[in-house]
């Protein structure tokens, strides 16, 4: 009997990957996570798994040979994703050392290893291409991801790889199963809840030369993220580090606009322009937080040429398309 293992399985991306595996008829899934935030269990209620293991228990079992010869693939989505975390020791132990231990196992066992990297490795740069000269993380979270990517590059360069290793540099992912993330949940999630509670949504005022709400990110819908993961699972001959975004930068204003109009559609109210929303006080701009100054990416846009060259051809949802689907899910 062999397993597909998903770490961070109760989390946002991990739970969506478990569900996608189930939809392929794969239910021999071992879910690995840390349920310190117990409410995360809700993400797996509609999923089928073979077992659940705490992340520390899993690592010990892995390193003592319990899973030797019994693993098809590991999707490593487990990490501390709080970009405001300041405990560097914890961040490096959790995001770097743990990830490295799983890599060692996969290379030894010739098991596919698909892991979560992050667009945060690019820091404040303006070129988002998978190349060392464009990378410069602004916080220890970004550094933990950056450092592991460097290890993967070294291994890919010197080893005769007989197993697949793929790193995904996730840009701004949003969609179902992120409700447990609190302040780290997507802007769309917060806007939906703000609008439902108060009839208005909040965005940061301008910074770094950007107008109010005009800071722009590459927002990628979770369904697209999962599809890319499944594409590489289906192509074990393909390895490397790839940006996973849409290739389009859209302003936070677009998220607010799409979320409000999707909510208004559910209320049988007509769509409004962004200017009308601002005039009516539905979109409100708030002071830019001091704690984020110098640590904030005001612009991201994935260069997805490497992903396309690897053979992934499907189109990505726009903000308007993805947010409309997401609001429909949240409103259920």
As annotated, the active-site residues are 141, 181
Question: In whole angstroms, what is the distance from residue 172 CA to residue 207 CA?
Answer: 19
Judged by DSSP in three states, 79 sits in coil
Q: Are 325 and 265 in contact (CB under 8 A)?
A: no
DSSP characters for 272-291?
--HHHHHHTTSEEEEPPPGG
| Cβ neighbours for 244, distance < 8 A, ≥ 6 positions apart | 168, 169, 170, 171, 220, 225, 228, 302, 304, 307
Query: ∠201-178-55 over CA atoms, to 5°?
Result: 150
Q: Is 150 left (phi over 0), alpha (psi -120 to 50) or beta?
A: alpha
With the CA atoms of 304, 309, 314 and 315 taken in that order, what torsion angle do they form, in degrees rounded to the nearest 10? 30
What radius of gyration, in Å, describes the C-alpha atoms of the chain? 20
Per the structure block, which two tokens stand in for 166? 């793929």
- Taking each helix axis as running N to C, give the angle between helix 252-266 and helix 319-330, from 0 to 180 degrees, rounded to the nearest 10: 40
Residue for token pair 């030797």: 68
Question: In whole angstroms, what is the distance from residue 207 CA to residue 84 CA?
Answer: 19
| Cβ neighbours for 230, distance < 8 A, ≥ 6 positions apart | 20, 24
Query: ∠316-320-326 over CA atoms, to 5°?
Result: 85
Q: Give the number of other Cβ atoms within 10 Å of residue 317's Cβ.
A: 19
Q: What are phi and psi of 152, to 5 degrees?
A: -60, -45
């Amino acid at each position: 009997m062999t397993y597909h293992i998903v770490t961070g399985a109760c989390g946002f991306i991990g739970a969506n990957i478990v569900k996608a595996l189930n939809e392929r008829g794969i239910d021999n899934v071992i879910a690995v996570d840390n349920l310190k935030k117990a409410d995360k269990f809700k993400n797996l209620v509609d999923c089928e798994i073979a077992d659940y293991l705490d992340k520390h228990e899993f690592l010990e079992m892995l390193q003592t040979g319990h899973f030797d010869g019994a693993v098809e693939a590991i999707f490593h989505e487990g990490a501390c994703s709080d970009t405001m975390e300041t405990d560097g020791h914890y961040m490096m132990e959790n995001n770097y050392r743990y990830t490295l231990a799983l890599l060692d196992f996969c290379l030894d066992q010739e098991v596919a290893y698909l892991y979560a990297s992050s667009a945060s490795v690019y820091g404040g740069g303006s070129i988002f291409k998978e190349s060392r000269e464009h990378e410069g993380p602004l916080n220890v979270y970004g550094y933990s991801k950056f450092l592991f990517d460097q290890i993967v590059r070294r291994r890919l360069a010197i080893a005769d790889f007989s197993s697949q290793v793929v790193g995904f540099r996730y840009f701004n992912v949003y969609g179902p199963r992120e409700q447990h993330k609190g302040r780290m949940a997507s802007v769309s999630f917060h806007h939906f809840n703000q609008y439902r509670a108060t009839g208005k949504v909040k965005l940061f005022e301008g910074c770094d030369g950007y107008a109010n709400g005009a800071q722009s990110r590459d927002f990628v819908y979770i369904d697209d993220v999962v599809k890319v993961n499944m594409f590489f699972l289906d192509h074990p001959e393909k390895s490397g580090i790839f940006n996973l975004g849409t290739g389009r930068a859209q302003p936070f204003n677009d998220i607010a606009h799409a979320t409000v109009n999707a909510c208004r559609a559910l209320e049988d109210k007509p769509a409004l322009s962004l200017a009308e929303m601002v005039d009516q006080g539905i979109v409100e701009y708030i002071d830019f937080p001091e704690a984020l100054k110098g640590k904030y990416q005001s612009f991201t846009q994935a260069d997805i040429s490497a992903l396309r060259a690897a053979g992934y051809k499907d189109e990505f949802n726009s903000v308007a398309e993805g947010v409309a689907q997401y609001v429909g899910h949240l409103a259920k």
